[in-house]
Amino acid sequence: MPAQSAIVGIGQTQFSKKIGISEAAVAYQAIQNAVADAGLQMKDIDGLVRYSLDTNNEWQLAYNLGIPQLSYFAVAPGGGNAGANTIQLADLGIKGGLAKNIVVFRARNRGKQSSAGPGQFEGGRPWEKMATQVRETPKKFHNPYGLIAAVQEMAMIARRYMHEFGITYEHFGHVAITERAHAMRNPYAMMREPITMEDYLSARWIAEPLRLFDCCLETDGGAAVVVTSVERAKALKQKPAYILSTGNANVFMTVPGTNYFKPSLFSTESAAVAEMVYGRAGVKPKDVDAAMIYDAFTPRVLIGLEDFGFCKRGEGGDFVAEGNIAWPNGSIPTNTSGGSLSEIYLHGFNLITEAVRQIRGTSTSQVKDAEVVLVASGNFSPTSAFILGSQPS
Amino acid sequence: MTTQPKSIVVPVPSEEDREYWAGAKEGKLLIQKCGGCGRLRNFPSMGCPHCGILKWSWVQSKGKGKIYSWIVVHPPVLPAFADKVPYNVILVELEEGTRIVSSLVDCPNEKIAIGMPVEVVFEKLTEEITLPKFRPAIGAR
Ligand SMILES: [Zn+2]
């Protein structure tokens, strides 16, 4: 089926460790920038999609941004797993004729020093604010042993991944080093100093087998996009990034974070969603020119490359070591803005704006003639993905 | 002068796991058994992921298994764990087939390995809550 919607505007705020404004103000700025980029005015916006973890809500955004009427609003459940789901909800809103121009955004102030706003979860680390009385299942069976932060949960999967497939620390290191090299060309990226394998291996442990540079940034900032119909897109000022397909997947015995109880840990949600988005778009892995794979921690990128068919299960380590994800010469340049590891951590929303830039031809690590770009959100949770095209079909 | 109570992270029992915690307090590691298909599952849950039946009973685990995966946690951690770093967290696959998150005691972190045989021990956390933990099995120590 040809695309019925397209991303026609992108915007972002300054990226910072201490931005000094609230998550609300971050959202307003990012959205204003995206709407202006599309050549639209706020009165043209009639739909809004957000992450459930965002602290901003519909009426407050409409009130402060001067949006006269919202006809469609939707919430994608989660954080890093929900990025592509927000785009699916916007695509469905357009397809259903429920709205004309839909804003999608993420605003997230989680630098260690940031506490500019009144929100309960604004500033600092969400996991450090957890109660000492744990009622939620399965957290109540895990937190008392000190398994609490996302990096700790991921480390357990990473260790098993290393064991089953012969993955090494250096394999993880190649992801961090490559994304840093991409970030060095991106003037908005927060981390622009090169890192070597020696730097990677000598960095401190966070949760063995993961070290500092395996982890995403703790940062403040926001980004937004505008989604509209294919017809309207043609009349707007930017080159449209057509939404070719979207998908969501929760599989047998999915448990977010501590996804440890399936018969195989590597029967993943992303493998299921890959079949959906490739099938619906009528494309194959070899047709994809650039990939944006959720990278809160480096092992996610290796496993994602496998799930989305760029290499076989267990080959992700050698695949990145051979330079396949590096711009410009790799077979599938990945996270070309520097991603969550080196640009900014926005629950993957910066991967969406970068995917649009690749289609437009405006990335600072631009893949020549990029026609098909994949965006894959957080795996080992209910997950989502979508594919953008430079043409509607 | 009162001493500051040590900050700890404590599970709050509920309908589907009350017996699990009661068992642990008595030194038994219980595994939930589906009242429909009879399959075992852990962590305790209301329904069965295999068949969706909302009934269950409990079987006592032999408490033996092997390390399926493991991590060693370094700072930053919650204040409750600040005096424990670096500490391990293990994922054990029990002989009965279910997996459980726990801690390995009586073993230096450097000696932890996937496949290591372990056996359950119990560590009192509060008057109400006892945590099942593991130590290297006899012969593996
Ligand atoms: Zn059952």
- Ligand 1 centroid, distance to B41 Cα (angstroms): 9
Minimum CA–CA partner of B67 in chain A: A160
Which residues in chain A touch residue B99, judged by CB atoms under 8 angstroms apart? 260-261
Terminal-residue alpha carbon distance, chain B: 44
Over residues A4-25, mean pLDDT:
95
Domain range holding A61? 5-112+219-231
A17 in any annotated domain: yes
Q: What is the band of B2 on the pLDDT scale with cuts at 50, 70, 90?
A: very low
Q: Are B73 and A152 in contact (CB < 8 Å)?
A: yes
Contact A177, A184 (CB under 8 A): no
> Which pLDDT does position A117 carry in this prediction?
60
Going by their DSSP bridges, the two strands A383-389 and B40-41 should be labelled as unpaired
B1 in any annotated domain: no
Contact A306, A314 (CB under 8 A): yes
> Which pLDDT does position A389 carry in this prediction?
98
Over residues A22-38, mean pLDDT:
96
Kindly tell me if the per-residue pLDDT of B140 is higher than 80: no
B2 in any annotated domain: no
Kindly tell me if the per-residue pLDDT of A287 is higher than 50: yes
B10 in any annotated domain: no
Tell me the nearest-neighbour CA distance from B139 into chain A, angstroms: 23
In the block, which residue shows the tokens 């020093």? Answer: A113
- Ligand 1 centroid, distance to A294 Cα (angstroms): 34
- Ligand 1 centroid, distance to A76 Cα (angstroms): 30
Q: Are B43 and A160 in contact (CB < 8 Å)?
A: no
Write out pLDDT tens, residues B113-125: 999 999 999 999 9
A26 in any annotated domain: yes
Over residues B81-92, mean pLDDT:
97
Write out pLDDT tens, residues A76-119: 999 999 999 999 999 999 999 999 999 999 999 988 776 556 55
Q: What is the band of B139 on the pLDDT scale with cuts at 50, 70, 90?
A: confident
Is A169 among the catalytic positions? no
Which residues in chain A touch residue B114, judged by CB atoms under 8 angstroms apart? 159-160, 163
Picking from A128, A156, A163, the nearest residue to B71 by CB comes out as A156
A51 in any annotated domain: yes
Picking from B87, B100, B114, the nearest residue to A146 by CB comes out as B87
B34 in any annotated domain: yes
Which residues in chain A touch residue B77, judged by CB atoms under 8 angstroms apart? 146, 148-149
Q: Are B14 and A160 in contact (CB < 8 Å)?
A: no
How many domains is chain A built from? 1
User: SS3 letters for chain A?
Assistant: CCCCEEEEEEEECCCECCCCCCHHHHHHHHHHHHHHHHCCCHHHCCEEEEECCCCCCHHHHHHHHCCCCCCEEEEECCCCCCHHHHHHHHHHHHHCCCCCEEEEEEEEECCCCCCCCCCCCCCCCHHHHCCCEECCCCHHHHHHHCCCCHHHHHHHHHHHHHHHHCCCHHHHHHHHHHHHHHHHCCCCCCCCCCCCHHHHHHCCEEEECEEHHHECCCCEEEEEEEEEEHHHHHHCCCCCEEEEEEEEECCCCCCCCCCCCCCCCCCCHHHHHHHHHHHHHCCCHHHCCEEEECCCEHHHHHHHHHHCCCCCCCCHHHHHHCCCCCCCCCCCCECCCCHHHHCCCCCCHHHHHHHHHHHHCCCCCCCCCCCEEEEECCCCCCEEEEEEECCCC
A16 in any annotated domain: yes
Residues with CB under 5 A from ligand 1 (ion): B 34, 36-37, 48, 50-51, 53
Q: Are A163 and B9 in contact (CB < 8 Å)?
A: no
- Ligand 1 centroid, distance to A141 Cα (angstroms): 21
Where is B19: in which H helix or E strand?
helix B18-25
A226 in any annotated domain: yes
Contact A143, A134 (CB under 8 A): yes
Write out pLDDT tens, residues A310-332: 999 999 999 999 999 999 999 99
- pTM for this model (two decimals): 0.96
Minimum CA–CA partner of A260 in chain B: B99
Q: Are A141 and B49 in contact (CB < 8 Å)?
A: no
A58 in any annotated domain: yes
Q: Are B125 and A125 in contact (CB < 8 Å)?
A: no
Picking from A140, A156, A253, the nearest residue to B49 by CB comes out as A253
- Say what percent of chain A tops pLDDT 70: 97
A256 in any annotated domain: no
Show the tokens assigned to A265: 């840990």
Assembly ipTM: 0.96
Q: Which residues contact A193 (CB under 8 A, 6 or more apart)?
A: A180, A184
Task: Work out the mean pLDDT of chain A and round it to a whole number.
Answer: 96
Over residues B21-39, mean pLDDT:
98
- Ligand 1 centroid, distance to B48 Cα (angstroms): 5
> Which pLDDT does position B1 carry in this prediction?
42
Q: How far apart are CA A307 and CA A259, in angstroms?
A: 16
CATH number at residue A90: 3.40.47.10
Tell me the nearest-neighbour CA distance from B78 into chain A, angstroms: 6
> Which pLDDT does position B6 carry in this prediction?
64
Terminal-residue alpha carbon distance, chain A: 7
Over residues A184-200, mean pLDDT:
98
Kindly tell me if the per-residue pLDDT of A363 is higher than 90: yes
Q: Phi and psi (nearest 5°) for A244?
A: -80, -35
Check residue B6 and report its DSSP letter. Answer: P
B112 in any annotated domain: yes
Better-scored residue on pLDDT, A127 or A378: A378
Long-range CB contacts (within 8 A, 24+) of A171-174: A171/A302, A171/A316, A171/A317, A171/A318, A171/A320, A171/A321, A172/A200, A172/A209, A172/A210, A172/A211, A172/A214, A172/A298, A172/A299, A172/A302, A172/A317, A173/A197, A173/A200, A173/A201, A173/A213, A173/A298, A174/A317, A174/A320, A174/A321
Picking from A140, A159, A206, the nearest residue to B70 by CB comes out as A159
A124 in any annotated domain: no
Q: How far apart are CA A15 and CA B20, in angstroms?
A: 47
Which residues in chain A touch residue B86, judged by CB atoms under 8 angstroms apart? 205, 208
Interface of chain B toward chain A, CB-CB under 8 angstroms: 7-12, 14, 16-17, 41-45, 49, 68-74, 76-78, 80-81, 84, 86-87, 89, 91, 98-103, 114, 125, 129, 131
Q: Are A146 and B77 in contact (CB < 8 Å)?
A: yes
Domain range holding B80? 18-136
Q: How far apart are CA B94 and CA B104, in angstroms?
A: 14
How many domains is chain B built from? 1
> Which pLDDT does position A113 carry in this prediction?
72
Q: What is the band of A256 on the pLDDT scale with cuts at 50, 70, 90?
A: very high
- Say what percent of chain A tops pLDDT 90: 92
Tell me the nearest-neighbour CA distance from B120 into chain A, angstroms: 14
Is A63 among the catalytic positions? no
Q: What dihedral do alpha carbons A241, A323, A299, A204 form, nearest 10°?
A: -120
Q: How far apart are CA B104 and CA A91, in angstroms?
A: 48
Over residues B70-89, mean pLDDT:
96
> Which pLDDT does position A118 carry in this prediction?
56
